[in-house]
Structure 1
Amino acid sequence: MKTINKVILGLTLIGSLTSLAAADGATIFKKCAGCHGMNAEKKALGKSQVIKGWQASKTEAALKGYKDGSYGGPMKALMKGQVATLNDEQIKSLAKYIESK
């Protein structure tokens, strides 16, 4: 019985962490929505690619590239400032949230 309770508790905690990560991505995306649209459906400032439909891995790589300066076109400097304070977990969470749009 104790083993079952531990398994249930573990699954509950994992579910809670997943929800927190998704919520964190949603919170972070609020800052992005002004340019990218509420559902990531817009070209930011009419210049970027539409990010709706991107896989999380692609978004994560782009965000990390903006942060370290290795990725980007005309929006490179602007985006570098936007992602400068995000840590790897926040970037991953944001990328997963964008993938869900």
Structure 2
Amino acid sequence: MKKAVVFAALLGLVATPALANDGAKLYAEKTCAACHGPDGKKTLMPNYPKIAGQNAAYLEQQMLDIKSGKRNNGQSAAMKGVMHLVDEAQIKVLADYISKLAP
């Protein structure tokens, strides 16, 4: 019985990262939709970018640059406030997910 409990606990730890890396779930959890819209194309403010269908490598690099402070212009200040919520692996998953949204 003890082995089954330990196995279930370990399985839960292993399964958690897989769930956390789901792009749609991350997009919702990390507040992306608040500014970019639920589909990446209806933004909160007219000067915020529509990101649906954007190139994944470009999206990833922009998020990494904002997170690191390398990009510090325009509306990047708004993004800087939320980039602490995502790590590099999650950024990659988000970029891939957003790139597949219909523009």
Assess same fold via TM > 0.5.
yes
Unaligned runs of 5+ in 1: 1-16
Residue in 1 aligned with 2:71?
71
Unaligned runs of 5+ in 2: 1-14
- Structure 2: how far apart are the matches of 1:77 and 1:96? 23
The farther-off stretch of 91-100 and 27-36 is 27-36
Which structure's residues are more often helix, by fraction?
1
Q: Under a length normalisation based on structure 1, what TM-score does the superposition of the two structures give?
A: 0.70
1:25 aligned partner: 23
Corresponding residue pairs, total = 83
Q: After the TM superposition, which parts of structure 1 deviate over 4 Å for at least 4 consecutive aligned residues?
A: none
Please tell me the root mean square deviation across aligned C-alpha atoms, in Å: 2.2
Amino acid paired to 2:34: G
TM-score by length of 2: 0.69
Q: After superposition, where does 1:46-85 map in structure 2 within 5 Å?
A: 46-85=46-85
d(CA) in 1 for partners of 2:59 and 2:79? 13
Shift of 1:53: 1.6
Residue identity opposite 2:51 in structure 1: I
**Percent pairwise identity:** 33
